[in-house]
Structure 1
Amino acid sequence: MADISTEDEATVTEDLIEDVVALVKEGDRERLVVLLEPLHESDVAELLSRLDPENRVELVRLLGDAFDFTALTELEEPVRLQILSELEPKAVADGLADLDSDDAVYILEDLDDAQSEAILAQLPFAMRHRLKRSLDFPEESAGRRMQTDFVAMPPFWTVGQVIDTLREEEDLPDEFTEIYVVDAAFRLLGTVALDRLLRTRRPVKITEIMDEEPITIRADEDQEEAARLFQRYDLLSAAVVDDGDRLVGILTIDDIVDVIEAEADEDIRALAGAGDAELSDTPLYVARTRIPWLMINMVTAFLASGVIALFDDTIAAMVALAILMPVVTALGGNAGIQAMTVTVRAISQRQITKRNVLRVIGREILVALINGGTVAASVGLVAGIWFGSPELGCLIAAAIVFNIFCAGFFGATMPMLLNRLGVDPAVASSVFLTTLTDVIGFFVFLGLAQWWFAFP
């Protein structure tokens, strides 16, 4: 049997996988529980993702109540859905009952309505009500990510009453850093940090030590905006309120870290046109998510080819032009992507305002001109020596400067324009930008060559 020491417990080895598969086939629950007990839920998730589909489900069934459903939140969506689809609703409900509400919602939100309802029907009424309320909020909103387990106290209590209640009450969140002060209608009045609570004498009312203007987040607020608030104000937790300022849940820093990671992953995929596919998805599904952008690129590539066709006689008269054309477009495309990436990031971070928009565009243009001049001088020198034509070196240098200038300008302005039109700049910018730099690069370089050398 594989030995899992405390030093290696975060590593899922091939020996461990082989042992787990053997025990699953034998149906030996007791030894499985002992073998996997030292593993963190993220390691259990890695183990599940590396098992064959049939062994995953059988492992979860064998472990029963010894399986921590938190591990499912660490899995890629296709693997999680495959496991849940083959488990009985009662088994899933029993597993969710032990989770924080935000983790339970995370697992339920990707299921179809029928499966989700079947699982919710098996849960106690109070938990079912809380989860349904969270699921009613829009996708990727603070209401979906919030925890509904928190500590709230009335404003007329003293510090001593609060401390005594915390010591005696068994149904409390496992971890919390703040007490929320609410009125009879559950409207948020303020918050009290635990460290301040413990440093205050017992007879003092909690209203005297509470923060009366805490940072709050609307339940329907986009999760990305919530993450920005955490970043801006260095929050560990924040209250989530509904339209009536009633406290409905809290967001904690661990939830926000997951949001930041998810949003960054989404932006990276969007910039590359790679869709939302995971490593565990089938090749057919991955192909379907990528083909639309490839088809769009195909159309735009024909536009660039059309520009080249306009100068076919020029290219035929001087083969060097065909050799050097890719240099012009490649440098322009690279410069444009650099400017676009910086601008898209600034837009996502809400760093671009009406006051600084011209400064941002001007900076990217200036950077493009500096870089364009430097690179153009090098390329022009190499081209002139290579083909024995100083004129050709000057032409390609001029084309590179102009193309990189355009790349910097459009790389900065196009994401802003798309964002203003309500289109995600991370998704659409790269396709249009690549087309522009290719078309401009070909047209300027070949046009200058035709004019200078007086080709027909």
Structure 2
Amino acid sequence: MPAGKPDGGLLVEQVNPIGADVHQPASIRDDSGHLDREYLKSVEAAIAVKDQQQILALAGNLHEADMGDLLEVLHDEDRVVLIQLLGDQFDFTALTEIDELVRMQLLEALPDQEIAEGIGELESDDAVYILEDLEKEEQDKILANLPNVDRVQIKRSLEYPEDTAGRLIQSDFIAVPAFWTVGQVIDHLRSSEGLPEKFYEIYIVDPAFHLLGAVSLDRVLTTKRSKKLSKIMEETRFSVLATQDQEDVARLFERYNLVSIAVTDDAERLVGIVTIDDIVDVIQEEAEEDMLALAGVGDEEISDNVLDIARSRIGWLVINVFTALFAASVISLFEQTISKMVALAVLMPVVASMGGNSGTQTMTVTVRAIATQELNRRNILRVLRRELFVGMLNGVGLGLLIGCIAGFWFYSLDIGLVIGSAVLINSICAGLFGLLVPLGLNRLGADPAIASSVFVTMITDVVGFFSFLFIASMWFNLPFL
């Protein structure tokens, strides 16, 4: 009978080859999707006494994603011990599922020969992902322990620029000549060894390995054996250059619902394929980069240390100091105005905050539209008009709301009218510059995701403060400058 577990789960009793009892949770994750605490305690206890049989029972058959999560939560010294206890059962694909810092620490701690044996079993794209962040000398040491064919394939991929299709290439694919029949292809697939683990298409090439087209597996299986591939292949299949940016490749997958795509060199020779599993990772990475960049944060991992995180964030914060001082200098122009009416000092942050939030909304949508290439010369004027009208409508609504609140607060209709007018002006400005700033930065070659927020915030602060204080000084006939 299975034994009970304190949190209500079940323990499955197993017997290892030498007769010792080992216990493995029925599920390694709890209801929230995190690794189960009891499971983690069992793994840590087995690592502490270096119980290989228990480790094999607990973690020998984990999916690479689960193994990646397990490696990340373990202490630094326990990670290497776990890998060594697992031996041949450790799937190095798990290293593609962990933070860069953790992966680098493991690669430094493990022997080069052991790493070479592990990545030698992987698809070339996974091997490249693991090795690409190492120094070239370290890469060469590991690659020297690989068979010649694997070494050449991986080195070729590493030579392509970072963030290009060449780095994602899977060199295991099936390519056949156009004069083959469907029957020949099926017989070839059944008799050949070393085929890719998963494949979805057969690629058609000429004697010089130029890509001619492709045919999907379902088309092969539903066509008579006597039919030639040249009659059923799709000549206009999508392909990309190995030097093409991975973001452009991801966009093709998204637009045309692709499962895989052929990668060619400059001479249009087939050099590999990119599959949907890698593109999902690219899409996630690009989305994370944009999200972090909008907050002025660099390429930051959850496992990074304090100094690295502080260094990645300080740059734009320093720039923000000077933009904030510029906004403060606008306020200093109205020192006498503010000194005559304290209510203005109380309400100034409201105007700036509303403008900043409105600008951030427009900026975020614009940056995303630029990244997905939805915003272009044909629709920019229409989008600009739309954002101006949105800013105007929101400005009227927010101006009325804030004006009424301020009027009742300070028992002054005039105060309400002044702040309402300033909110309207700043909302229109936010819509305008929330669009124009990212577009301008993109035109200058800067990343709009990184730089836009600082400048949009500065503009809305300056316009908000100036419009509010200037209107107030005119309305109440107060001195300024």
Same fold per superposition (TM over 0.5): yes
1:225-264 correspondence to structure 2 within 5 Å: 225-264=248-287
Q: Partners in 2 of 1:434 and 1:338 — Cα distance?
A: 11
Partner of 2:14: none
Partner of 1:147: 170
**What amino acid is aligned across from residue 26 of structure 2 in structure 1?**
S
**What amino acid is aligned across from residue 256 of structure 2 in structure 1?**
Y
1:313 paired residue among 326, 336, 339? 336
Q: Partners in 2 of 1:201 and 1:4 — Cα distance?
A: 50
| Residue 58 of structure 2 corresponds to residue 35 of structure 1 | yes
Judged with a 3 Å threshold, the aligned counterparts in structure 2 of structure 1 residues 270 and 7 are, in CA distance, closer, same or farther, namely closer
| Residue 25 of structure 2 corresponds to residue 4 of structure 1 | yes
- SS of the counterpart of 1:3? strand
Partner of 1:18: 41
Deviations 1:408-433 (A, max 9, x none): 00001111111111111000100000
Judged with a 3 Å threshold, the aligned counterparts in structure 2 of structure 1 residues 396 and 108 are, in CA distance, closer, same or farther, namely same
**What amino acid is aligned across from residue 260 of structure 2 in structure 1?**
S
How far has the Cα of 1:284 moved from its partner?
A: 1.2
Deviations 1:277-305 (A, max 9, x none): 11111011101100111111111111111
1:355-394 correspondence to structure 2 within 5 Å: 355-394=378-417
Q: Partners in 1 of 2:222 and 2:112 — Cα distance?
A: 47
Partner of 1:76: 99
Contact 2:177–2:206 (CA under 8 A) maintained in structure 1: yes
How far has the Cα of 1:7 moved from its partner?
A: 8.0
Q: Partners in 1 of 2:369 and 2:418 — Cα distance?
A: 35
**What amino acid is aligned across from residue 41 of structure 1 in structure 2?**
E
Identical aligned pairs, as a percentage? Answer: 52
**How many residues were matched structurally?**
456
Deviations 1:186-211 (A, max 9, x none): 11011011111111111211111111
Structure 2 residues without counterparts, runs of 5 or longer: 1-21
Q: Partners in 2 of 1:82 and 1:327 — Cα distance?
A: 48
Deviations 1:207-259 (A, max 9, x none): 11111111001111100000111111111111011100010111111111110
- SS of the counterpart of 2:212? strand
Partner of 2:200: 177
Partner of 2:476: 453
Deviations 1:10-31 (A, max 9, x none): 7522222222222222222222
Q: Partners in 2 of 1:382 and 1:373 — Cα distance?
A: 14
- SS of the counterpart of 1:217? strand
2:86 paired residue among 34, 41, 63? 63
Contact 2:422–2:467 (CA under 8 A) maintained in structure 1: yes
- SS of the counterpart of 1:134? helix
1:86-235 correspondence to structure 2 within 5 Å: 86-235=109-258
Judged with a 3 Å threshold, the aligned counterparts in structure 2 of structure 1 residues 58 and 6 are, in CA distance, closer, same or farther, namely closer
Q: Partners in 1 of 2:342 and 2:361 — Cα distance?
A: 31
Partner of 2:426: 403
| Residue 51 of structure 2 corresponds to residue 51 of structure 1 | no
How far has the Cα of 1:381 moved from its partner?
A: 0.9
| TM-score after normalising by structure 1 | 0.98
Partner of 1:346: 369
Q: Partners in 2 of 1:330 and 1:275 — Cα distance?
A: 25
Contact 2:61–2:89 (CA under 8 A) maintained in structure 1: no
**What amino acid is aligned across from residue 135 of structure 1 in structure 2?**
L
CA RMSD of aligned residues (A): 1.2
Contact 2:60–2:86 (CA under 8 A) maintained in structure 1: no
| Residue 449 of structure 2 corresponds to residue 426 of structure 1 | yes
Q: Partners in 2 of 1:378 and 1:45 — Cα distance?
A: 51
Contact 1:142–1:240 (CA under 8 A) maintained in structure 2: yes
Q: Partners in 1 of 2:421 and 2:60 — Cα distance?
A: 67
2:108 paired residue among 76, 85, 100? 85
2:321 paired residue among 289, 295, 298? 298
